[in-house]
Amino acid sequence: MRARVTEDSKGRRQVSEPCAEPCPIERGMRVLGGKWTGSILWHLKDDPVRFNDLARMVNGASKKMIADRLRHLEAHGLITRQVMPTAPVSVHYSITDYGRTALNALDALREWAEDRQP
């Protein structure tokens, strides 16, 4: 359904069929739209990455922010977290098959942004 604005005979505007819940674009943005989220997912697209290496890849993001974003992506099933039995302990993050489904959208966004740089 699509919300529409109509005007009655007295010039009053009304919305027919307003959105009762977030639309699919809004739901997707709630998952992928957080700061650094797309970059983190993009860096995981090829191989598993250790936390500290990911922190180096995403230059400018604090480790706390990266940890928060990783928890968010894991909670939504886009990545997996694997604790390696090493000393000291290392944690590897990998993209899931479900997470891979978001890569086309991220790639299209990347292309759009590159084509429109001032």
Q: What is the pLDDT of residues 43-82, one digit of tens each?
A: 999 999 999 999 999 988 999 999 999 999 999 999 999 9
State the CATH number of the domain containing residue 59: 1.10.10.10
Domain membership of residue 10 (yes or no) is no
Section 28-51 average pLDDT:
92
Domain membership of residue 73 (yes or no) is yes
Mean pLDDT of all residues in the chain? Answer: 89
- Assess whether pLDDT exceeds 60 at residue 32: yes
Percent of the chain with pLDDT over 90: 56
pLDDT score of 21: 77
Closest to 76 (Cα-Cα) out of 58, 101, 107, 105: 101
Domain membership of residue 32 (yes or no) is yes
Section 75-99 average pLDDT:
94
pLDDT score of 1: 56
Domain membership of residue 14 (yes or no) is no
Say how many domains are in the chain.
1
Domain membership of residue 60 (yes or no) is yes
Domain membership of residue 33 (yes or no) is yes
- What's the Cα-to-Cα distance from 91 to each of 31, 32, 72, 97, rounded to whole Å? 22, 22, 16, 19
Domain membership of residue 29 (yes or no) is yes
Residue numbers of the domain that contains 98: 23-115
Look-up: residue for tokens 């700061």?
Answer: 35
CA distance 78 to 41: 8
Between CA 34 and CA 2, with CA 4 as vertex, the angle to 5 degrees is 55
- Assess whether pLDDT exceeds 80 at residue 2: no
Cis previous bond, 88, omega within 30 = yes
Domain membership of residue 105 (yes or no) is yes
